[in-house]
Amino acid sequence: MEIKQVSSISGLVEQLYSLLADCIVSGASVGFLTPINDQEVKSYWESVETELESGTRKLFLAYDNDNVIGAVQLSLCAKANGAHRGEVEKLMVDTRARGKGVSKKLMSLMESTASEMGLSLLVLDTRLGDVASSLYRSIGYTEAGQIPQFARSSSGELEATVYFFKLL
């Protein structure tokens, strides 16, 4: 397995689409509903590419040989009073690669890169009760609070979210 930061998704869109679709179908809380809207997913990845180009987003990928099996993103705050923080977004691992430490390795590289960039605070949210909560706690994130009925699950039901933070 190889984990690396990429500055462009050129040539990777099909694999990233498949990764996101796999996560949506398996019920992951990644911001999309089923059934999958192809144009919505394609537009999403186009917006990621635009933000990578502008420097407001960082993307980290996990590979098994040449196949993308995981991803995590770091969104940078554009406000002057928030230049010290970043938001962790869309931690995704292919269902066939789960339980092999991919998430921890992705998060580790993302965190070390954030620290090297001078960030001192990372924030994220995830669905209440999601397996990701255990992961975040195990790697040093602290729960900051919960909000009921925050977002719809992939099946459309309103669910609570949990906010976490980590000081670097």
pLDDT band at 168 (very low <50, low <70, confident <90, very high): very high
- 109-to-6, 62, 130, 155 alpha-carbon distances in Å: 12, 10, 22, 32
The answer on pLDDT for 16 being more than 90 is: yes
> So what's the pLDDT on residue 155?
83
| Distance, CA of 38 to CA of 63 (rounded, Å) | 24
126-148 mean pLDDT: 96
Do residues 53 and 74 touch, judged by C-beta distance below 8 A?
no
| Domain boundaries defined on the chain | 2-119
| Distance, CA of 161 to CA of 36 (rounded, Å) | 22
Of 71, 104, 92, the residue nearest 28 (C-alpha): 92
The answer on pLDDT for 154 being more than 90 is: no
**pLDDT tens digits, one per residue of 61-75:** 999 999 999 999 999
| Distance, CA of 159 to CA of 10 (rounded, Å) | 34
Of 71, 160, 73, the residue nearest 124 (C-alpha): 73
Higher pLDDT, 154 or 122: 122
> So what's the pLDDT on residue 82?
97
The model's pTM is 0.96
Do residues 74 and 110 touch, judged by C-beta distance below 8 A?
yes
| Distance, CA of 113 to CA of 138 (rounded, Å) | 19
Q: What is the CA radius of gyration of the chain?
A: 15
**pLDDT tens digits, one per residue of 74-118:** 999 999 999 999 999 999 999 999 999 999 999 999 999 999 999
Do residues 30 and 23 touch, judged by C-beta distance below 8 A?
yes
Homologous superfamily of 2-119: Gcn5-related N-acetyltransferase (GNAT) (3.40.630.30)
| Distance, CA of 142 to CA of 136 (rounded, Å) | 8
Higher pLDDT, 31 or 59: 59
Structure tokens at 102: 């991919």
